[in-house]
Structure 1
Amino acid sequence: MMGSSSSPEEKSMEEELQFLKLLTDRILKSAEEAESYKFECSETSKLVEHLSQMLRSVFRLTTSSTTSLYEPPFRRILFDLTKNLERALTLVRKCKKSGVLRRVVTITSGTDFRKLFSVLDASIGDLKWLLSVYDYGNDSNMGGGIVLSLPPMASNDPILSWVWSYVAAIQMSSSLSDRVEGANYLASLALDNDRNKKIIVQEAGVPPLLKLLKEGPTPDAQVGAATALANLATDQDRVRVIVSELGVPIIVHVLWDSPMLVQIAVADLVSRMAENDPEAQEEFARENGIRPLVSLLSCENVVKDPKPQSDKPTTSLHSLVNAHLYPRTPQHPYPHTNSSSSLHYEGSGGRSGQHKKERENEKPEVKLMLKVKCAEALWLLSKGCVSNSQRITETKGLLCLANYVEKEKGELQLNCLLTVMEIAAASELDADLRRAAFKTNSPAAKAVVDQILRVIKEEDTPQMQVPAIRAVGSLARAFPASDTRVVRPLVARLEHTNLDVVTEAIIALGKFAHPENFLCVQHSKAIIEFGGVTSLVRLLRSSDSAQLHGLILLCYLALHVGNSEVLERSRVLSVLEGAARASLSQHPLLRDLIPKAMDQLELYHAGIPPHKQSYGP
């Protein structure tokens, strides 16, 4: 609150300063009229006169500054000053009338004055600090450096003062080096702990950082701002502050038209926001944030193939990326060689090629890091988000992702694979997306499936196996019954030494055999044919972690292909009978499923043809 009954938001700063001027005039007048404690009142008058002069300097700065004022320290200091001046006015007014009884009743000693002098001295120190900070708005202070002294009111919490100084430098300093330094220091503070992050956001640090990111005259300034924002964007509330300050359009624009180092920092910011807030994911979808990421990811992918063109048509994955990202037209019969020329930002006025020469001269590790960060951003934007997954497929990003899964190694390959996994998961939830993106005759769908199957067969690390297996499981409804190349590698993974890989393979096979899958019977037969039953029975006897999903899959196989001799030879009925007596049988997914599967097997063993209808879990 500013004053006895108003909040800072209810008065403009000009009104606050006018009120404080009125308050100082009243104190000075009352001090002149004092009839007791005249010396103390005189000392009070000197302190208040000093404060009045400083307030006039503050007023001049606020009216003449060429930059927008950074208000939080201003309001906090004026709020405390108002309380202290009101305290001084009350005290000197008590000294107006004389008389021993009056003095005994109202003031027992000079202690009250000594306390008053202390708080007025503190206010002088606060105003002195405030003037030094607000002097950033003066052209004469160019290159003056960031103010790091502590005002008395922040002596017990230096972080608050540092935040004020750094944010004020970013917002008000005429010196570019001060603004960059302020952003870098905020990034460092935000990296330390959540309390620092909270203070930066509460003290209005986000808007100046966004403005610096948008208008930063140098890449260093933009990188500093993006890094600070990324360090802040580690929980949902802070991400939503960035979104509410219209940060997403700024971020998307900078992604389109910036040097690579800036784009790396901004792509990392996108990742942190998408990771911590679903609403931010949707906001990036509305602002078409997918297109610049796919464009940046695909640019070098297209440029680096030096092979001469021949008249013979090619069907390589690389040529498919070219054909879909940069289609030939009668006016442009040859594919573009720079993604920024065809995937430009509609609102950028064609400036996206401005940094083309710098890109060509960048170090290979910088180019690689940009791809890694863009792929990570696409992964986290698509995670659990159908709209962003759909936009990736609409930009033909699937082909680019498949190409990197095939050709790259390390973090870039993994991030692209994780993105494919999330798009597949979204298509599992959204039938329209699945039909549009994973049609059997789609080159993009074929490229993606080829690569995730290759990973399942050839890669041996769980880090790569798990997302590839999950992706195949999510696409279970998109595969025809004749596509046996999909089920076979999943069954083979049941023999993997890593239990996470085994469990994911069981879950994926369960989606192929699920009663809601139109081809569940054909897929179940394929699972049995490729030896899945033997592996399942062994796993159920040796691994607790695979029991739930293994029993579910075994029940599906019994329901759909109960007349299989393989099930009888593997004594699946005995396995299910044992499971029915265990506590796991009371799991909601198994409570009804196990008895139905047992009934189906018992009918076959009794010589009665099994039921042909499907059973739900």
Structure 2
Amino acid sequence: MSHLEGARLDEALTHVIQLGEQVKNALYEADSFKQECHDLLQKIDRLSNFLRKAHSVGPGNLYGRPTRKIMVEVEKTLEKVFTLAKKCKRSGMLKRVITITSAADFKRLNIQVDNAIEDVTWLLNVSAVGDDRPDSVGLPPIAITDPVLAMIWEQIAVVQVGAMEARSDSASILASYAKESERNCKLIIEEGGIPPLLRLLKEGSIAGQEAAAEALGIMARDGEKVKQILDDGVVEVFILILTHGSMKVQVKVARALAQMVSHNGDAQDEFAREGAIRLLVSLLAYDTLDDTSKSQKSQVNSIHTIVKDQLDQKSTQKVGGGSVNKPVDEDASSDTEKTMRVSKPAEPPHSPDPKDLTLKKPYQVSGLGPTKPASAGGGGGFSKPCGPLRNSSFERNPDGHSRHGHNYRAQRQERDREDPETKQSLKAEAAHALWKLAAGNVKNSKSITDTRALLCFAKLVESGEGLVQYNSVMAVTEIAKAAEQDAELRRAAFKTNSPAAKAVVEQLLRVIEEAEPELQAPCVKAIGCLARIFPAPALHVLRPLTVQLGSEDVSVVEEACVALQKFAFKENYLHLEHSRTILDNGGANHLSQLVYFEGPAQTEAVILLSYLCLNVGESEALEKADALGALEAASRRPTISEDVRGLLCDAIEHLELYRAPRIHPEDTQPNLTWLTSSFEPPQQVPSKLDSLVV
């Protein structure tokens, strides 16, 4: 390995230029093969001129990866020429005999020097800007055995130093290269393609930013590649775009973010630590919660106007009709008046500030609209202000500028002018990113539930379509899975009196009853993960789950069995009550059929039916559905695992205990009713003893 590979570009260029001067001096002083040395001298002089031109371009305008490789090859070539030139100097006869030089050596070195000249020429061409750049830079000899590498070098160089339009096109070409094969992704990352793409994403045009974000998302194929992308500083740039970027660029960035965090757990933590969750929730809440608050805002503003006019009239009368109004004493005014003074005049609707999305205290929510602080007296919908009149939702937006400033208004108007398709795409990708951030990560799930994300998800599950609805459902499912593992999260985010939790559960149950199987399965899973939050009898929850045991979709049936297991398992404090509710809603009949007939859901159905038999074995519903026969038939199948077989045997034994014939005291008394009813004894079947007597 040459020392130039780790050196700075300017140092590598300087070293090669100095070596070229030494070679030229050695060729000039040659005593033999003078014509061959003269030809080499001319080529080395031409090579030195190109190297000086590359040095004058500046390291910042040269693409570093191929530059270092080319400098290493040029150094090797110059050292060979220098060695040959020293052999051509006058010296002793013995040395000349030992170091034999032939014309073939010069021919071979001429070819290598020509290749070095072409490599440096190619480097200058790909680093050229504007009109100086040729239409086709060709293929450098250094990459003659790997043409794909040369094409990737060319496009990365354009992304780094090209014109803005050319940079956008090259970023799109790199994205198409990355789609073609895994090796291309690896080459783009190894050859230093990530920093130029990040720079384009940060500073380029909207088209260039979209192309760069798409390329980054495509290259995030596995954990190792994501780690390399993270090391190049992608988190900071993504956060910047999610805060300030165009809506179309934010769509691409959110998609790439979801791709990265789905393959690397460290990426989940890094993006969450830098505030990506709050920004994504803010994008998700844009036009989702605002619509429901417009009527409330108009009412508050109209009341504010009325109260303010009345206060102005009273204060004007106190000063004798003068034009100067006396300030109103805040402590002497009523709570309603003080609250009205907190409210601002009518203003255009704005997307929620990420800082306002944190639920730091209980809220009262009307439907799925934005929350309002609960008043201490429990009467009105407003709270008594304390201290200075401050409200972060009116003061600052995420970028730190005033919400009423020109920049924010312009940005808001620009976002409002976006087409509905782009807005829906942004919601879908924001929900997708939140889904992947929450997947298998309890800490991130807590951070998401600390915002108003659950309200947004409930609204989007209710009114969204396509990917918006699907991604919202999957995000809720991941949060529910985290809540199942973490009791603190379950108690905090899914309290029975929480409006957000109620809204989410209501929409999940609605989807289970009405939607397609691809949405029903994750919703059933989410309800199962939340089994411990529902009080008995939980009829509104267990009835739709039990109905899905008869679904035509196998995945829905399997998920319904697993979800109901979590209600009937003994670790659930209310497992007895839940088991009775399941049986009362026809669960035994569905389960007996699933257990009798082999299928993908058979094992889960056996487990659930065993739980029900162990919990409420005396139920008549089990007897009517022939649960004992179904379990006995299942026990004879060789496909049942040992763990399930043990549970199955316990359930059969428990059922047999309840199904044993019962002997009542009246059954032991002789039947003497015939003595009082008639003189004729009851007809009896002749026994063998009677025949013997005869």
- The within-5 A match list for 1:205-220 is 205-216=193-204, 218-220=205-207
Are residues 1:318 and 2:368 paired?
Answer: yes
1:299-330 C-alpha deviation (Å, 9 max, x unpaired): 11234456576699x965333x35489x9666
With normalisation by structure 1, the TM-score equals: 0.88
Partner of 2:148: 159
Match of 2:505 in 1: 449
Which amino acid in the other structure matches residue 398 of structure 1?
A: L
1:413-432 equivalences under 5 Å are 413-432=469-488
Q: In the alignment, does 2:113 pair up with 1:120? A: yes
Aligned counterpart for 1:597 among listed residues 624, 631, 651: 651
* Distance in 2 separating the partners of 1:155 and 1:555: 69
Residue in structure 1 matched with residue 183 of structure 2 by the alignment: 195
- Which among 529, 533, 551 is matched to residue 496 of structure 1? 551
| Residues 14-68 of structure 1, C-alpha deviations (whole Å, 9 max, x = no match) | 3323332332233223323333332222222222121122222222222xx6x46
Correspondence for 2:15: 19
How far apart are residue 400 of structure 1 and its match?
Answer: 0.9
The change in CA–CA distance for 1:340 and 1:410 in structure 2 (over 3 A counts) is farther
1:599 deviation in Å?
2.7
1:73-84 alignment runs, 5 A limit: 73-84=66-77
Sort the Cα spacing of 1:431 and 1:554 in 2 relative to 1 into closer, same or farther, 3 A.
same
The residue correspondences of 1:551-562 to structure 2 (distance < 5 A) are 551-562=606-617
Equivalences, count: 587
Corresponding residue for residue 669 of structure 2: none
CA distance in 2, matches of 1:358, 1:516: 54
- Cα distance between partner residues in 2 of 1:143 and 1:363: 40
State yes or no: 1:85 paired with 2:78. yes
Alignment deviations for residues 490-521 of structure 1 (CA, whole Å, 9 cap, x no partner): 11011111111111111111111122211111
2:393, 2:434 → 1: CA distance? 18
Secondary structure at the aligned position of 1:485 is classed as helix
| CA–CA distance in structure 1, aligned partners of residues 144 and 448 of structure 2 | 51
Equivalence map 1:350-389=2 (5 Å): 354-389=410-445
SS in 1 for 2:289: helix
AA paired with 2:23?
I
CA shift in 2, pair 1:380/1:349, >3 Å: farther
* 3-state SS, counterpart of residue 318 of structure 1: coil
C-alpha distance in 2 between matches for 1:166 and 1:23: 31
Q: Unpaired segments of 5 or more residues in structure 1?
A: 333-338, 609-617
Farther-moved stretch of structure 1 (96-105 vs 448-457): 96-105
The offset of 1:482, in angstroms, is 2.5
What is the 5 A alignment of 1:41-52? 41-52=37-48
Equivalences for residues 381-530 of structure 1 within 5 A: 381-459=437-515, 461-530=516-585
> Structure 1 residues 16, 451: CA separation in 2 closer, same or farther (over 3 Å shift)?
same
How far did residue 412 of structure 1 move? 1.1
Q: What's the CA shift for 1:346?
A: 6.1
Q: Is the Cα–Cα contact under 8 Å of residues 373 and 383 in structure 2 kept in the other structure?
A: no
Identical amino acids, percent of aligned pairs: 40
Aligned residue number for residue 172 of structure 1 = 161
Point out the more displaced range, 502-511 or 50-59. 50-59
Does structure 1 conserve the Cα–Cα contact (< 8 Å) formed by 2:4 and 2:12? Answer: no
Contact 1:146 1:165 in 2 (8 A): no
State the alpha-carbon separation in 1 of the partners of residues 394 and 175 from structure 2.
34
Offset from partner CA, 1:189-247 (integer Å, 9 cap, x none)? 2222222211111111111211222233x322322221221121222222112212221
Q: Give the 3-state SS of the residue equivalent to 2:572 in structure 1.
A: coil
Matched, 1:257 2:244: yes
Distance 1:603 1:113 in 2: 101
Is the 8 Å Cα contact of residues 126 and 133 (structure 2) preserved in structure 1? no
Query: Which structure would you say has the larger Rg?
Result: 2
Cα 1:68/1:59, change in 2 over 3 Å: closer
Asked if the contact 2:435–2:475 (Cα under 8 Å) also holds between the matched residues in 1, the reply is yes
- Offset, 1:429: 1.3
> Counterpart of 2:571 in 1: which secondary structure?
coil
Asked whether the 8 Å contact 1:439–1:445 carries over to 2, the reply is yes
Against the structure 1 CA distance between its residues 295 and 329, is the aligned structure 2 distance closer, same or farther, given a 3 Å change threshold? farther
Q: Deviations over 1:306-362 (max 9, x none)?
A: 6576699x965333x35489x966679xxxxxx986883266786666511111111
The residue number in structure 2 matching 1:612 is none
Q: Secondary structure at the match of 1:482?
A: coil
Aligned to 2:263: 276
RMSD: 3.0
Aligned to 2:5: 8
Q: Provide the residue aligned with 2:361 in structure 1.
A: none
Q: Which residue of 2 aligns with 1:531?
A: 586
Distance 1:583 1:104 in 2: 87
